[in-house]
Amino acid sequence: MKKIIIISSSIREGRLGHRVALFMKNYLIENSIAEVEILDLNEYKFPIFEERLSNLKNPPANLLDFVDRFKKSDGVIIASSVYNYSFPASLKNAIDVMYPEWGRKVVGLSSATMGFVEGLPTTFQLENTLSQMGAFVSPKKYFAINISKVFNEDGIAVDKEKEEKKLKPMIDEFMYLVGKLT
């Protein structure tokens, strides 16, 4: 079974985007699609990195753990909250500290917003950045909207069938690419 990590990007107090990461994890596990682990940037508490991992003289142990888990995965799903029509600085920091690690990594993208408009600019910016770094970004995306009302704190959707129907095309395309490219 393929090993997938989900990067949960929001580190704000009272964050809601993590609910989407939990929802996706539950979906993958309940449907026996993959082994799944969430790498929660809120738990890692990374400092602002001034250099790439390969040039850090004494990389923090939690960064080495993060990168090790990242490298061992067959694919990565990014659950990005929408911050001012973009993605969180915490996510950019985690992306930029690695460079060769993104090469040929299969990536699925998801945006999570409290509003009613899909986070297309967020995923577009992420896709552009990651593609330039050599990642294989799945063309299908999952857009979670109105997340404070759609998901509870445990990532359980109020209308599970509706949200799973929205998520399935992204997961199917992502796992197809993982199967073909890893």
pLDDT digits (tens, 9 = 90+) for 13-69: 989 999 999 999 999 999 999 999 999 999 999 999 999 999 999 999 999 999 999
For the chain, the three-class secondary structure string (H helix, E strand, C coil) is CCEEEEEECCCCCCCCCHHHHHHHHHHHHHCCCCEEEEEEHHHHCCCCCCCCHHHCCCCCHHHHHHHHHHHHCCEEEEEEECECCECCHHHHHHHHCCCHHHCCCEEEEEEECCCCCCCHHHHHHHHHHHHHCCCEEEEEEEEECCHHHHECCCCCECCHHHHHHHHHHHHHHHHHHHHHHC
Residue 84 sits in which domain range? 3-181
Q: What's the whole-model pTM score?
A: 0.96
Nearest to 42 by CA among 11, 4, 14, 69: 11
pLDDT digits (tens, 9 = 90+) for 64-116: 999 999 999 999 999 999 998 899 999 999 999 999 999 999 999 999 999 99
Q: What CATH number does the domain containing 45 carry?
A: 3.40.50.360
pLDDT digits (tens, 9 = 90+) for 119-129: 999 999 999 99
Number of domains in the chain: 1
